[in-house]
């Protein structure tokens, strides 16, 4: 118990003193996670929209595959991406391994299914009459799509927030593809794992506090937007 | 001709929802579409609004065969607006909702504002212009949806049960607006309804759908009919709930019919002091309205039920009829007038 309380006390001191190393790690985490979330959103939102909006053969199978990919372990993604970007891989000459770009690639693969499936759910919940109303008022396909997007906006934002929460807390991809290089690819989760291995709990606990605070904030945002979606659906 | 339908079918899997051999709808007229639930009224409206595709058959609009290409359909939809039975308003203000169709048509901002204010005034919703559309009641939502539809000045307005689930006050407002749109702006109007009185009050023509098929298209004067009793060699019926009618048995099957259609051109109307010298039943009523209708004159006579009577201009001139005059009306029931809804 002394270990925990002492570590917590020291961690708070570290946070209050605005420790440079701690904030560097937090900075790397936020940069990598924000980038991967933005890229995944650019891919996942239109995909989710098209899958929800259009009828095509194999639609149910596509949704089932995407739902299955939600359970994809980060270490599996790490392994697959590693096989492509390691020196012997086909993208080896690009020298991506152990860079922030490598982590971003892995994280994008991790959260595209998250954003896509949650977007499908958000769009599918939207009343069919919105589409019909826009069409009968003379809207084209793109204008109809914008109406649906607008009505589903809170659900879509919630999908992006959930995806960000997933990547900020993942450790497998960051460790395997980033290599935990100090100042470059050391994220909050990989730094915590390292500090734990070293038996140094203070920085690990301080990072844990930051991560938990971020997770809390993300969940608050998620529930806020989810709540708006439900109110909207009434 | 506004719409022309030939051998049109709409199926879902093995089930045929709509099967119309031939139907023509004229421009500038009011059509009531009646039929029981599941008769195919909404499907027909969706097809006429170019929101649904027929499985087979031909549909012409304003003399052109409809081609089901997205760009063509969008162009056609800009002339036809459908008002849902349960309309939904987009999130945002009433103003944003009403101007949506105008924005789609790239109408400039100032013009949009003027049009929004005009149509909201028309439906009596001006004070709600900046209100959140989601906070409106059912009747108010329907009126704003109607304003949204009228803002784009459509050639055709298709309404699915425009007065369903709204209070009597809102019902009257909606019916008055629809009537004005047709008479003043020459908007062709087709509305699905369960209310025979709405159909009788508003429509020039009535289309009856049963199990997806067109029952004989009937004009106005569709009333409920109840067989009361057999008396001597004849029968007693009650028409429209109040008009008692006695006649020789017309057909053994007809006592079980639920509705009767009285052809406006086969009803005789005469001044009360000029009783016809023939043995036909007649009723006393009051002329409520006289209007020009096509080449003839249409009289609205209140004789317990609101009867529409058509007469030629020559007959009208010779009888010298006028509004609020007491008149006699007479007609004979024939088997072809009876039908079930």
pLDDT the model gives residue B217:
53
Q: Is the pLDDT of residue A53 over 80?
A: yes
- B325's tokens: 């005059």
What are the pLDDT digits (tens) for A117-135?
A: 999 999 999 999 999 999 9
Do A150 and B90 lie within an 8 Å CB cutoff? yes
Tell me how crowded residue B158 is: count the other CB atoms within 10 A of its CB. Answer: 27
Which residues are CB-contacts of A119 (< 8 A; sequence separation ≥ 6)?
A44, A45, A47, A48, A49, A52, A152, A155, A156, A159
Percent above pLDDT 90 for chain A: 69
Six token digits for residue B287: 């002329």
Question: What pLDDT score does B340 carry?
Answer: 64
CA nearest to A28, candidates A204, A200, A190, A195: A190
Q: How many CB atoms are closer than 10 A to CB B233?
A: 7
Structure tokens at A4: 């925990």
pLDDT in tens, A12-42: 888 888 888 888 999 999 999 999 999 999 9
- On whether the A28-190 domain is CATH 3.40.50.720, my answer is no
Q: How many CA atoms lie within 13 A of A196 on its CB side?
A: 10
Length of chain B: 341
Half-sphere exposure of B47 (CA within 13 A, CB side): 26
User: What confidence tier does A143 reach under pLDDT thresholds 50, 70, 90?
Assistant: very high
Distance CA(B305)–CA(B12), nearest Å, equals 41
Name the segment(s) of chain B with CATH classification 3.40.50.300: 3-218
**Predicted confidence (pLDDT) per residue in B230-279, tens digit:** 777 778 888 887 888 887 765 555 556 677 888 888 888 888 877 766 66
**Two structure tokens written together for B165:** 């689930």
pLDDT in tens, B51-80: 999 999 999 999 999 999 999 999 999 999
Cβ–Cβ gap A141/B70 under 8 Å: yes
3-state secondary structure of B331: coil
Q: Does B3-218 carry CATH code 3.40.50.1220?
A: no
Which has the minimum average pLDDT: A60-69, B250-259, B287-296?
B250-259
Q: Given this structure, which CATH class describes domain B221-339?
A: mainly beta
Span(s) in chain B for CATH 2.40.50.100: 221-339
Q: Beta strand pairing status for B3-12 and B15-25?
A: antiparallel
More confident residue, B142 or B166: B142
Q: Compute the nearest-CA separation of A138 from chain B (Å).
A: 5
Is the pLDDT score of A234 beyond 60? no
Burial of A169 (0-12, 13-18, 19+ CB in 10 A): middle
Q: Does B209 touch chain A if contact means CB atoms closer than 8 Å?
A: no
d(CA B24, CA B190): 12
Partners of A16 in the beta sheet?
Answer: none
**pLDDT: which is higher, B166 or B248:** B166
Q: Chain B: residue nearest A143 by CA?
A: B104
Q: What does pLDDT average to over chain B?
A: 87
Chain A residues near residue B51 by CB distance under 8 angstroms? 132, 135-136
Beta-carbon count within 10 A of B72 CB: 13
Nearest to A143 among B81, B104, B145 (CB): B104
Please tell me which residue, B90 or A54, carries the higher pLDDT value: B90
Q: Is the pLDDT of residue B3 over 80?
A: yes
pLDDT at residue A86 greater than cutoff 70: yes
- pLDDT, residue A233, reads 44
């Amino acid at each position: 118990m002394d270990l925990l309380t002492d570590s917590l006390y020291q961690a708070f001191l570290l946070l209050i003193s605005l420790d440079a190393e701690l904030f560097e790690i937090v900075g790397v985490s936020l940069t990598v996670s924000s980038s991967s979330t933005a890229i995944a959103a650019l891919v996942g939102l239109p995909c989710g929209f098209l899958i929800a909006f259009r009828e095509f053969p194999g639609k149910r199978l596509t949704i089932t595959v995407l739902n299955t990919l939600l359970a994809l372990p980060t270490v599996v993604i790490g392994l697959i991406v590693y096989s492509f970007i390691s020196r012997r891989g086909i993208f080896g000459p690009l020298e991506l391994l152990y860079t922030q770009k490598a982590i971003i690639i892995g994280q994008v693969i991790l959260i595209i299914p998250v954003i896509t499936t949650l977007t499908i759910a958000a769009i599918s919940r939207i009343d069919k009459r919105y589409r019909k109303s826009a069409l009968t008022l003379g809207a084209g396909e793109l204008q109809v799509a914008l109406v649906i997007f607008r009505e589903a906006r809170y659900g879509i934002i919630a999908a992006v927030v959930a995806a960000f929460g997933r990547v900020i807390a993942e450790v497998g991809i960051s460790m395997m593809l980033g290599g935990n290089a100090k100042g470059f690819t050391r994220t909050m989760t990989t730094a915590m794992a390292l500090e734990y291995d070293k038996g140094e709990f203070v920085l690990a606990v301080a990072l844990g506090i930051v991560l938990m605070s971020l997770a809390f904030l993300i969940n608050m945002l998620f529930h806020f937007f989810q709540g708006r979606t439900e109110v909207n659906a009434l | 001709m506004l719409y022309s339908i030939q051998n049109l079918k709409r199926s879902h899997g093995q089930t045929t929802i709509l099967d119309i051999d031939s139907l023509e709808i004229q421009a500038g007229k009011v059509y009531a579409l009646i039929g029981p639930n599941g008769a195919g009224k909404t499907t027909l409206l969706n097809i006429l609004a170019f929101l649904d595709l027929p499985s087979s058959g031909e549909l012409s609009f304003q003399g052109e065969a409809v081609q089901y290409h997205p760009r063509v359909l969008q162009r056609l939809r800009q002339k036809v607006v459908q008002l849902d039975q349960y309309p939904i308003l987009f999130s945002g203000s009433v103003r944003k909702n009403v101007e949506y169709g105008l924005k789609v048509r790239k109408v400039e901002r100032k013009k949009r504002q003027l049009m929004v204010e005009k149509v909201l005034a028309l439906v009596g919703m001006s004070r709600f212009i900046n209100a959140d559309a989601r906070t409106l009641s059912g009747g108010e939502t329907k009126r704003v949806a109607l304003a949204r539809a009228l803002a784009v000045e459509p050639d055709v307005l298709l309404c699915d049960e425009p007065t369903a689930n709204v209070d009597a006050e809102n019902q009257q407002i909606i019916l008055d607006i629809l009537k004005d749109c047709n008479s003043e702006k020459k908007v062709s109007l087709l509305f699905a309804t369960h209310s025979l009185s709405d159909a009788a009050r508003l429509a020039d023509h009535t289309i009856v759908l049963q199990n997806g098929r067109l029952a004989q298209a009937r004009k106005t004067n569709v009333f409920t009919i109840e067989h009361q009793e057999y008396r001597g060699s004849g029968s007693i019926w009650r028409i429209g709930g109040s008009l008692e009618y006695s006649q020789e048995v017309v057909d053994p099957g007809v006592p079980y019919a639920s509705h009767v259609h009285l052809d406006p051109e086969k009803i005789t109307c005469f001044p009360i002091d000029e009783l016809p010298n023939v043995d036909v039943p007649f009723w006393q009523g009051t002329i409520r309205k006289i209007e020009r209708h096509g080449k003839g004159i249409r009289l609205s006579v209140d004789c317990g039920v609101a009867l529409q009577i058509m007469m030629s201009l020559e007959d009208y001139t010779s009888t010298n009829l006028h509004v609020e005059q007491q008149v006699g009306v007479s007609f004979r029931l024939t088997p072809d007038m009876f039908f079930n809804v």
